[in-house]
Amino acid sequence: MISLRSRPAVSRWWLLATLLATGLIPLGLLSYFAVDLGGRAVDRRVKENLTTSASISALYFREELRGLAEVDTSFATRPSLVEALAGGDKSRYDRSFIRGTLEQLSRVRPGIGTAFLADSKGRLVDIVPATPSIVGKSFAFRDWYRGVTRTGRAYVSQAYESQAVGHPLVVAVAAPIREPSGRRIGIIVAAYRLDTIQAFAAAFARAQGVSLTITDQRGGLVADARRRAKPLSPRRADPRVAAALGGRSGIAESGRGGDSVLSAYAPVPGIGWTVIAEIPSSRAFAAVHDLRRTVTLIAALLAVLLCGGIALLSRVLRLRQVAESRTQTVLDATVDGIQLTDLAGRPVLSNATYDRLIGGIRGVPEEPRSPEGVEVTASLLTRPDQFRAYAALIANDPEYEGIHEFELAESGRSFKVFTAPARDARRKLLGRITTLREVTSEREAERMKTELLATVSHELRTPLASILGFAELLVHRELDAETRGGYLETIYREAGRLTSLINDFLDLQRIEEGRFTLALEPFDLTEALEEQVQTFAGQSNAHEIRLAAPGESFEVVGERDRVAQVIANLLSNAIKYSPSGGPVQVSTERQNGSVRVTVSDSGLGIPAVQQPRLFTKFFRVDSSDTREIGGTGLGLALCREIVEAHGGRIGFDSVEGEGSTFWFELPAAGAPIDPTAGNGSRGRVLVVEDDRAAASLFVAQLSEDGLAVIVAETGEEGLALAQADPPDLVCLDITLAGELDGWEVLTRLK
């Protein structure tokens, strides 16, 4: 039987139970799932960021060290360096050239601390910076020597303490030097300083909010962003290092409680190094702790459940946005374009560099991997089939990884593309990551390097061969005085030619480095012209060189020796490209505050299509008549730099088959020419200006100087006035109303 008194009590307990069940239990479940789901989300994001940090760092070091290996290999394959090693005979080494090559290698990248060259047995031949105490020592025990010997190609060594000046910690990038037969005659090495790698690791770690640790092939410490251990200390016992050395990458957690550390490890492909990115769990999961406290407060205050949920959602979204913003900031800071696509080939994200590079290519489709997009993109390239094959590889093999290079047909720009599958922390395939780098300047540099090597090998070898040949005859043969004198004269002449070539190279180098200076002072240009004409007239009996001077001295402002160098270059070209007996005419005249020097010949002339490139370094006119004529292609480029450094200008007129006229102008010394001289009356100035206010200003200013001013408002009117009664001076506006603008009027007045 149920007591009536007990019913209210039973109802109260049921009410309490119901309230507990409908209030506390859902709140508890909400708290549990909110904390759990939030923790998982943050955990996943942290691991993705760590994996990305480790992967990007690994890719950076791979490309950096591979790039350094390519540079080292390019030096090792230089024919001039092979020739300097004289087949491995150290008594015949060209040590001066070897030292110059090492100095050049040491300046290629800021991180190169030392550059050195060893013979085939590992004995040190030379080193930069100079360390005489170790030259001649054998370093066959070094890993770089064993690596090159074992692989036969460029090799990145383990990190070690160098015996060079200062004993820096370095990693050596070594490349074999081989004769054309394939025999190894030496090894050239660029030692990359560990403090450079340390600086990158510290900067990257700060940007990512992580700590980076980098080891070499044997597990020796190369860099530690937090500097917790001494460089080169062994780390192979670390399971993460051991796993990465085995070619594996992944996520690991070490320690317990608040002292635990979350880390991602990855190998550096092709190099054997390892990268570990780590972050303390207390910092990585700080958001989870905040979330737990928030949910606890919500459980205590059921009335603010909704507000707490909104705050929680806002908190999670903000954390995610911050994490994504950091990732995007790092991506945008890279020099390479980066794009991530999903499994269907649709773009997921890209950095600013990628958007800029792709945006600068006209006609690129939005989805270049679609069948239509592949054809459109291929049509923009110089080798369409190459891109079609690349697209087919990606479409047919999700695991494909490779590097390709493409060139745009319209602009000639070159791009290097690296593509690889993108995976998450559990190695699940997410899509494909593609990096894009413009290498147009590198290809242009390679072309310039090839032209320079070809020029040097041809132009410098010829006088050197003559000097060595005649010197050998003088040493090994008994010669009469006349023959000996002739040989010595030839050696002297070829040495002078060699000196001139080298000076041209050095002058252009100083100009490009901004170290080219002039001592400007007034000097007699006519005297300099007479000296050069006499010199070349004595050297070339097959040509008649005439100097047509108006019987007065022309004083200009400049450096006399440099101006003489320009005159000599123009005379030399006129003689070389003129037929035997052809006249060469040199003349001077005043040109409105300047002095113009003209050198004319009746030689081969220059094809019109090649004229725009005439003042380009290493450019030589290419025709059936000029291919056998020697030259470096530097003379006219150097002339232009010298003349422009004087504040002058240089140009030419040429007709193929009829001859060429080269001229240059330099500022004249002293006061400008009086426009009233010779006619006994006031100077007449024609002002061609369609702006009446500007014309009135010219009239007021010129009239105060005692000049008679005539104004024309159109080009047609100005041209008619000038032709009817030529003025002493014309002030000409470029943008004029009417059919004739200023340029056309100027052309007709000339």
pLDDT at 140 over 90: yes
**Which of 22-26, 405-409, 417-421 is most confident?**
417-421
Question: Average pLDDT in the 517-532 region?
Answer: 84
CB atoms within 10 A of CB 413: 17
Side chain identity at 239, as an amino acid letter? P
The confidence score (pLDDT) of residue 626 equals 44
The confidence score (pLDDT) of residue 459 equals 63
Q: How confident is the model at residue 3 (pLDDT cuts 50, 70, 90)?
A: very low
Q: Which of 430, 426, 421, 412 is nearest to 394 (CA)?
A: 421
Question: Average pLDDT in the 650-664 region?
Answer: 89
What is the share, in percent, of the chain residues with pLDDT greater than 90? 15
pLDDT at 228 over 90: no
What is the share, in percent, of the chain residues with pLDDT greater than 70? 81
Q: DSSP letters along 80-129, please?
A: HHHHHTGGG-GGG--HHHHHHHHHHHHTTSTTEEEEEEEETTSBEEEEES
Between CA 28 and CA 20 the distance in angstroms is 10
Q: What angle do CA 63, 69, 70 make, to 5 degrees?
A: 85
Between CA 499 and CA 495 the distance in angstroms is 6
Q: How confident is the model at residue 672 (pLDDT cuts 50, 70, 90)?
A: very low
pLDDT at 256 over 70: no
Question: Average pLDDT in the 249-273 region?
Answer: 81
The confidence score (pLDDT) of residue 284 equals 67
The three-state secondary structure class of 152 is coil
Between CA 643 and CA 634 the distance in angstroms is 14
Helix and strand element counts for the chain (H, E) = 22, 25
pLDDT higher for 682 or 652? 652
Q: How confident is the model at residue 625 (pLDDT cuts 50, 70, 90)?
A: very low
Q: How confident is the model at residue 677 (pLDDT cuts 50, 70, 90)?
A: very low
Q: Which of 641, 644, 636 is nearest to 667 (CA)?
A: 644
pLDDT higher for 286 or 520? 520
Between CA 691 and CA 704 the distance in angstroms is 20
pTM value is 0.38
Residues 6+ apart with CB under 8 A from 665: 591, 594, 595, 596, 597, 643, 648, 649, 650
Q: What angle do CA 96, 466, 565 make, to 5 degrees?
A: 75
pLDDT higher for 411 or 188? 188
pLDDT at 264 over 70: yes
Q: DSSP letters along 256-277, please?
A: -GGG-EEEEEEE-TTT--EEEE
The confidence score (pLDDT) of residue 512 equals 66
Question: Average pLDDT in the 320-334 region?
Answer: 72
**Which of 147-161, 278-292, 511-525, 606-620 is most confident?**
147-161
Between CA 437 and CA 418 the distance in angstroms is 9
Q: Which of 417, 415, 418, 419 is nearest to 441 (CA)?
A: 415
Sketch out the chain's domains with CATH numbers.
Answer: 67-192 (3.30.450.20), 196-284 (3.30.450.20), 334-438 (3.30.450.20), 444-512 (1.10.287.130), 521-667 (3.30.565.10), 684-749 (3.40.50.2300)
Between CA 448 and CA 458 the distance in angstroms is 15
The confidence score (pLDDT) of residue 662 equals 94
pLDDT at 246 over 80: yes
pLDDT higher for 441 or 95? 95
Question: Average pLDDT in the 539-556 region?
Answer: 76
Instruction: Give the pairing type, strands 337-342 and 274-280.
Output: unpaired
Question: Average pLDDT in the 443-461 region?
Answer: 66
pLDDT at 458 over 70: no
Question: Average pLDDT in the 567-572 region?
Answer: 88
pLDDT at 260 over 50: yes
Assess contact for 198 and 176: CB atoms under 8 A. Answer: no
The confidence score (pLDDT) of residue 561 equals 86
The confidence score (pLDDT) of residue 528 equals 87
pLDDT higher for 272 or 99? 99
702-712 pLDDT, tens digit each: 777 768 888 88
Between CA 669 and CA 284 the distance in angstroms is 74
E runs forming strands in 368-519 = 402-407, 414-423, 429-438
337-374 pLDDT, tens digit each: 888 888 887 888 888 888 887 777 777 777 777 778 78
Residues present in the chain in total: 750
pLDDT at 522 over 80: yes
The confidence score (pLDDT) of residue 478 equals 84
Question: Average pLDDT in the 379-395 region?
Answer: 86
Strand partners, 178: 184
Q: DSSP letters along 196-236, please?
A: HHHHHHHHHHHHHTSEEEEE-TT-BEEEETT--S-TT-B-T
706-730 pLDDT, tens digit each: 688 888 888 888 888 888 788 888 8
pLDDT at 142 over 60: yes
Question: Average pLDDT in the 540-568 region?
Answer: 81
Question: Average pLDDT in the 534-549 region?
Answer: 76
pLDDT at 2 over 50: no
156-180 pLDDT, tens digit each: 999 998 888 888 899 999 999 999 9
Output the average pLDDT for the chain. Answer: 80
Between CA 649 and CA 647 the distance in angstroms is 7
Question: Average pLDDT in the 205-219 region?
Answer: 85
Question: Average pLDDT in the 276-284 region?
Answer: 80
Q: Is the dihedral of CA 152, 154, 160, 162 positive or negative?
A: positive
pLDDT at 678 over 70: no
